[in-house]
Structure 1
Amino acid sequence: MKPALPAEGAPLPHTVSTAPFEPYAVEQMTAKQEQVFLASQWQLMWWKFRRHKLAVISGIVILLMYGAVAFCEFLAPYHYTTRNTDFIRAPRQELHFFHEGRLVGPFVYPYAQRLNMENLKREYDVDRTRPQPIRFFCRGDDYTFWGLVPGNLHLFCPPEGGTLFLLGSDRLGRDVLSRILYGGRISLSIGLLGVGVSFVLGVIIGGIAGYYGGRVDLIVQRLIEIVQSLPHIPLWLALASIMPPSWSPLLVYFGITIILGLMDWTGLARAVRSKLLSLREEDYVVAAQLMGAKPARIIGLHLIPGFMSHLIAAATITIPKTVLGETALSFLGLGLRPPITSWGVMLNESLNVNVVALYPWLLYPVIPVILIILAFNFLGDGLRDAADPYR
């Protein structure tokens, strides 16, 4: 039996219709959609980062702190070595604006010192009859800005013939606020330099392990495990204690920076290694190899820039560890030493419990340490979320 033929005018089976082609309707993108579609990776990261309010606030706090320590000579009312021997371990002077109901402006009340003969302790009485206005944009202690430009202009200065201890004074009569500002430059710069050392080591060692793989990767992984298995604090103490006491404060500064950087590269090296293991088989890497590109060029120009945002987030989280490491070493007397000052050197004066009980303002340097560590941690969380393509 023959199959039935199709009706007249109907298209034959398994043939292409000769009707004119009708294109699909294309939905037009809005201006905002087009902006997102054409945005670069850094723009997308910035838009996601702005939605992390806590990270944005932390970034502002970090910028303010680094800006303050960059101009500490101008912002500090005293030089960090200036001594007021008549006001040793003086409590902080409160800032006032009104005196007996009358607006005077920012001022402090002077101290009257007397010696308690029963316990031989210096006691300070506040003289509330003589308000002493604070001077602004005034000439004060001489300094050398960043060791280059001499000057003596300060944002605010003590009253004429008076003192200004907004956070008290230490055992030598030095202003605690001024020393916190000067010490912040050392502590915060050690964090950046230490992370720079660990960043270079982590990228180089992790890049070699991830690109070559095999036996090289095995050796690097065992090295990382050995370094991570060592207790950091005892190792810090051992390395810091072998530095000669005759070294200048500048050499000790760089020595502490290198020690802290040598201990924190392992986590970054693991991150770089895992990324390169997944990216080294991509077509553009094979094309670069076929064109004769050397491994250093492939790693530096083709692989590392592809996840630089992740490296920046990881480095941001590492900075507070370095700051805390320097503070711990200097606090224990094995890090930076006077005459150089840092937050850890200042906290070294509060080792005695009796001193802390009698003069609690000597613990004020711990406040910026806590603030900078929390700010960097929150900023790192925000950057890590912004750099994650799956969020």
Structure 2
Amino acid sequence: MINDRTILHCDLNGFYASVEMLSHPELAGLPVAVGGDPSKRKGIILAKNEEAKKFGVATGEALWVAKRKCPKLVVLPSHHKLYEEYSIKVNEIYSRFTSQVEPFGIDESWLDVSASRKLFGTGKEIADKIRETVKRELGLTISVGVSFNKVFAKLGSDYKKPDATTVFGRADIEKIVHKLPVKDLLYVGKKTADTLHKLGIYTIGDLASSNEAMLLRRFGKFGAELLAYAKGEDNSPVACYGETEEAKSIGNSHTFARDLLGDEDIAAGFGKVAENVSKRLIEANLKGYVLSIVIKDANLSSLVRQKKLNKPISSYKDLINNSIELFKANWDNSPVRMLGISLSQLTPADTPVQAELFETKLHSTKAEDALGKAILKIKDKYGNSAINFANRSIKDL
């Protein structure tokens, strides 16, 4: 008998809109959305409640388009600091059930509750207890997917919304999972889905039965990963971001107030995330060898990529440069809504590193590390706005 893990994926329903509704109980039952400034050309829908969803209002579309679909739509301004506060509160509730919690953006988290089953019951029972606790204490609802790996747990949380628990066990793979559209699979964005469709692959089952050599020719190493995901062979661990001692990874992500378009936007977006990651690495006196980035498009479809670095990094500049390089190698010109950066295979910052022959950047790397520490001290003493990096050029991120 297979001794499977029990993995949960918890997804807050209409997170921004739900948090705003806590301050506006008078809007209960009305179509409500959170969006950018309607006076700006790029004002978009960031989140919507269930009532707005019934009118076809979609995340990422222009405010004027949403208003045409739903003339009585109430559009509220966004308050990102408030959303961050509630995200922390929700993850604190998750941590009561397991120490293995991996945030995936501001409104989603994976939990490995394998070791918690003796205390709290089955995966479904734990999921239901978490949903009830979040609703009772914070007034928010979540959808939870329960499965034996992260990919299928995520698929489960998307399967039924809002305020629901969906279990995908091994017996459900052929019966349910393989019949779902391939675009529903985690890491299959629009571009990948279009390519798979051209290959005659429309469902997750089609992908699971595909020829691996063909997928490798078309997608490279990612093709083998896609095949494994579709077959239910994802064994990636739930990483505990933010740990310090004996940390497995340190990372951060940010969902932006508007879509990011073009090189300047992407650089500024990664800059916003890299600053936080670099700060946490410096505070923990750590560097990392493996860089991972998470990208979500305007429809919140996700793509995750990673690469092994020749040397461990922690500086703001190194994080940005390597993240942008990885981004450009794997993303088209589609608008971006969320970016995340994390480092794993961590090592103490003072671990000796073998210099490469003819290397010219050793001293500049030390200078960048020193600069990062100096900026951190200034921010700690005088506040975050006291000093910023030059390429932080976008004010409304």
Structure with the larger strand share: 2
Larger radius of gyration: 1
TM-based fold match above 0.5: no
Into which bin does the TM-score normalised by the smaller protein fall?
under 0.3
Q: Normalising by structure 1, what TM-score?
A: 0.23
Structure with the larger helix share: 1
Q: Normalising by structure 2, what TM-score?
A: 0.23
